[in-house]
Amino acid sequence: MTEMFCWQCQEALRNTGCTTRGVCGKSAEVANLQDLLVYLLKGISFWGTRGRNMGVSDDATDIFVAQALFATITNANFDEERFVLLIKRAVELREALKAAAQEKCKELHGNPCPGGEPDWAGWKPVSYDLDTLLSKAETVGVMADEDLDPDLRSLRELIIYGLKGMAAYLDHAHVLDVEDPEILAFLQEMLEATTNPKLTAEDLTGLVLKTGEMGLRAMALLDQANTGAYGNPEPTQVNLGVRPGPGILVSGHDLRDIHELLQQTEGTGVNVYTHGEMLPANAYPAFKKYDHFVGNYGGSWWKQKVEFDSFNGPILMTTNCIVLPRESYQDRIFTTGMAGFPGCEHIPDREPGKQKDFSSIIELAKTLPGPESLEEKTITIGFAHQAVMNHAGAVIDAIKSGDIKRFVVMAGCDGRHRSREYYTQVAETLPEDAVILTAGCAKYRYNKLELGDINGIPRILDAGQCNDSYSLIRTAQALAEAFEVEDVNDLPISYDIAWYEQKAVIVLLALLSLGIKKIRLGPSLPAFLSPNVTEVLVKNFDLMPNGEVESDVAAMMAGA
């Protein structure tokens, strides 16, 4: 017997699965509540897909499915109470959707929909106390069906983890009032598909690629939302030092949160710094007018236990990437959106027509000392697809002249394992005629290296957050058009992707849906890929694990 089972992230215990407590720090109770929530989302999807076929849908339910999936990604929410509320809301929305679908069925056919609904589409707890929910949760986890074919389980989970990553991007776009109803409906279609016993491994493999295709569409939607609200990122020198005075450190991914915080701190004497995946905010034109937006503090998410201590001021976690805080600064951490941690103050969602209220975090900042300096230097960011296209002539000329021999996409996530030093070593080993294209927090393994430039083009082109991997795909597509190449695999681009959580999974699936081959993935292949599923990916896409640094660099430079 195990207390839990989770294998959705790269740091799954022994690359097999966490069974007593997550390596990420989540308790068995939280892991099991997350399983139950996903189970109930499948129930919403049961009625959502059937209702939609009859013209019955509910916008609030559709976005709830995305937000609830988002809450279950790695390092997002560790709060049992929040998951109990999400589970209760899931049941309420499912029952309302069920009633509407049955009423519509009666209207159309004279009778309610036929019975025989599956458990996930009808189960209701006798109460919402923790013991009752956990008792049910123990029966619905990843390994609950011991007789399920391992390959089917693997493909179903691969789809679900891709949907979780996609859901994060959809919620970010929703916050900026940009939505695509077809993608929200797709979430439910795929959740429903993972319950269908008639689907074969071949069927599910096709749905994996369809998930990647829709994931690319979701990334494009978020790009539209971010640039529509805040302008196209610009090449920007970001200060990594500190300024005298109190400060607030903002981590995560939500640009609207940092925008509203900048507005509310203007003129207060409180400086605002970015951390982790919020670094790219420094490149958006809309934020540059704020004199108290002073730069980036620290590095990757997993170093926060040291960096948050030395920051001294309050920290706002806008999305995932929180790790178990030290007691020394836990009372300075605030969460918002789908992020959560027990004992940390949570900033409620904004009411219609209003901003979130960040007054409590601002008032605390005024009472605390400013941050201690970690380093004194600047780095260059802001090379999203529009910025690269603005320099397209110079890039194309450098390729034609042979000054740039190869682009290496080193996007994705960072993590704690020492094996991730591989990415630093690759960056250091690549010859001087190679350019790194990056997005996501994987860049913290090499973005402070002095690698120079090629004809004024930095050898590290940072496109932004993990969701900005879309920019790297757009850059590849633009180069294919410029060189009249029909197959992007014929471009001088190699892929050396680092993964950690589910947003990296959807990026990988998006690349596969485009037919991109010879992707190196590390520092280990996902535990949820069965040997047969791995074999299919290797055979069809030449997917491969990391090897030795020097041999991998030589192979990539040779196009292998």
Write the pLDDT tens digit of every residue in 15-67.
Answer: 999 999 999 999 999 999 999 999 999 999 999 999 999 999 999 999 999 99
CB 314 within 8 A of CB 334: yes
Give the Cα separation of 409 and 334 in Å (integer).
Answer: 34
Q: For residues 20 and 372, give the distance between their C-alpha atoms in angstroms, rounded to a whole number.
A: 37
pLDDT: which is higher, 439 or 114: 439
Question: Burial code of 151-169, b = ≥16 C-beta within 10 A, e = fewer?
Answer: bbbbbbbbbbbbbbbbbbb
Q: Is the pLDDT of residue 115 over 80?
A: no
Minimal CA–CA distance to 149: which of 558, 533, 553? 533
pLDDT at 220 over 80: yes
The pLDDT assigned to 486 comes to 86
What local confidence, expressed as pLDDT, does residue 106 receive?
Answer: 86
Sheet holding 315-317, edge to edge: 293-296, 271-274, 247-251, 315-317, 333-336, 345-347
Distance separating alpha carbons of residues 362 and 257, to the nearest angstrom: 13
pLDDT of residue 105: 86
Average pLDDT of the chain, as a whole number: 95
pLDDT of residue 108: 86
Q: Tokens for 440, please give them.
A: 């996501």
pLDDT tens digit string along 422-468?
999 999 999 999 999 999 999 999 999 999 999 999 999 999 998 89
State percent of the chain over pLDDT 70. Answer: 99
Query: Does the pLDDT value for residue 1 go beyond 70?
Result: no
CB 311 within 8 A of CB 246: no
Report CA-CA distances (Å) from 205 to 215, 394, 415, 421: 15, 40, 28, 32
Q: Which residue is it, tokens 């999807």?
A: 45
What percent of the chain clears pLDDT 90, i.e. is strictly above it? 92
Higher-scoring residue by pLDDT: 2, 118? 118
Stretch 181-188: mean pLDDT: 98
For residue 265 the two structure tokens come to 């701190």
Q: What is the mean pLDDT of residues 222-239?
A: 97
